[in-house]
Chains A and B, each alone.
Chain A
Amino acid sequence: MIKTGVKKDFLKAFTLAFPSTIPVLTGFLVLGMAYGVLMQTKGYGLIWSVLMSAIAFCGSMQFVAITLLTIAFNPMQAFTLSLMVNARHLFYGISMLEKYKGLGKARAFLIYVLCDETFSISSSVTIPDGINRKYFYLSISLLNYIYWVLGTFLGSVAGKYVHFNTTGLDFVLTSLFVVLFLEQWKTPNNRLSAMIGIIGTLISLFLFGQNHLVIPAMIIILVTLLIGRKKLCN
């Protein structure tokens, strides 16, 4: 009896979560495939691409790491670069502390696979009454994780047979972030912080260039949010 209840709850949460991951499905299949193909051209086949995607699961860093795999062996450099490219996860974690509270064993997995897209969806969505919170977050995280690994797999085995012109399809992830930005914008209390995010990152882009913009942008945003705390709390 209890078991069927759990299954029903999970199915209910999963059905609700799936549609919100469709843009990620599209984007991750395309980018994951691109990654698989690119790794293939550097001589790294199916096993290595899928292992990287499944264990490291960090899209932008994986693309950066392709260069690392083609030069002399230097794991320390790989590690420090990964820390820097992935630094934005620190802010995702701080934002999800409250939401991921009290989720037991599922929590470790949710944290392990917390990526840009999962953070965007899970931090924006309001979970309706009667939906199990744990199963809902778990569904989003699990689906997004599977999409990425699956995309990598497909790219490694079948990338060269795909002839459909996918140029520009990766814009689906930009669109996802734009729409979730608009969703945040709907709440007037969020607007000042949203503007700080845009302007802070633009300032960082102009000062530090496109290859080194994330960490300075995070610092600008953090400092501005802390200084403006009184104003933002209203």
Chain B
Amino acid sequence: MQLTGTQTLITILAIALGAVITRFAPFILFPETKEPPIFITYLGRVLPPAMMGLLVVYCLKGISMECSPYGIPELLSIIFIVILHEWMNNVLISIGGGTYLYMFLIQVIFC
């Protein structure tokens, strides 16, 4: 522990404040008592699919194309999830199956 107790607490609160601002800002800027501008309503509708795309890429950002295993476990697992989801259409089975395959690939095949 590098910092004193008080310093640690202040650091925690500073980080929390940053997070709280990013979370509350939209709700404070566009309160529920007032109709938000049309472009905000539009963004609220189109942002979720786009952000889901962002989160997927964000999770895979660490993959290296230069060294083994070149993102192959991730690619195979995602293909498996797509097939599984198309076939069974069950969120939990798709997620469980994909995760299981990924663990198997990196612990047994590509280790």
Chain A interface residues toward B at CB < 8 A: 19-20, 22-23, 26, 42-44, 48, 51-52, 55-58, 61-62, 65, 68-71, 73, 75-76, 78-83, 85-98, 100-102, 107, 111-112, 114, 116, 119-120, 123-124, 165, 167-169, 171-185, 190-191, 193-202, 205, 210, 213-214, 217-218, 221-222, 225-226, 229, 232-233
Cross-chain contact of A193 among B27, B50, B85 (Cβ < 8 A):
B50
In the assembled complex, the Cα of A228 lies from the Cα of B4 at a distance in Å of: 51
Q: Are A58's CB and B92's CB within 8 A?
A: no
Q: Are B16's CB and A75's CB within 8 A?
A: no
In the assembled complex, the Cα of A111 lies from the Cα of B58 at a distance in Å of: 22
Cross-chain contact of B8 among A69, A71, A111 (Cβ < 8 A):
A69
Residues of B within 8 A of A92 (CB): 23, 51
Q: A193-B46, A225-B47 are in contact. Are A56 and B59 (CB under 8 A)?
A: no
Chain B residue with the shortest CB-CB distance to A173: B59
Q: Are B44's CB and A98's CB within 8 A?
A: yes
Residues of A within 8 A of B17 (CB): 79, 82
Residues of A within 8 A of B62 (CB): 210
Count B interface residues, CB 8 Å: 69
Residues of B within 8 A of A222 (CB): 43
In the assembled complex, the Cα of A233 lies from the Cα of B36 at a distance in Å of: 17
Chain B interface residues toward A at CB < 8 A: 1-3, 7-27, 30, 32, 36, 39-44, 46-62, 73-74, 77-78, 81-82, 85, 91-92, 94-96, 98-99, 102-103, 105-107
Q: Are A56's CB and B41's CB within 8 A?
A: no
Majority DSSP secondary structure for residues of B touching A = helix
A23-B92, A42-B2 are known; give 16 further A-B pairs, CB within 8 A: A23-B99, A73-B3, A86-B19, A90-B22, A94-B47, A97-B30, A97-B32, A97-B40, A167-B103, A168-B106, A175-B77, A179-B85, A184-B48, A210-B62, A221-B47, A226-B39
Residues of A within 8 A of B49 (CB): 181, 184-185, 190-191, 193-194, 197
CB distance from A58 to the nearest CB of B (A): 4
A-B pairs with beta carbons under 8 Å apart, 20 shown: A23-B96, A43-B1, A43-B2, A55-B13, A61-B18, A69-B3, A79-B14, A82-B14, A88-B54, A89-B19, A111-B24, A124-B52, A171-B102, A179-B94, A185-B49, A193-B46, A197-B49, A197-B57, A226-B43, A232-B42
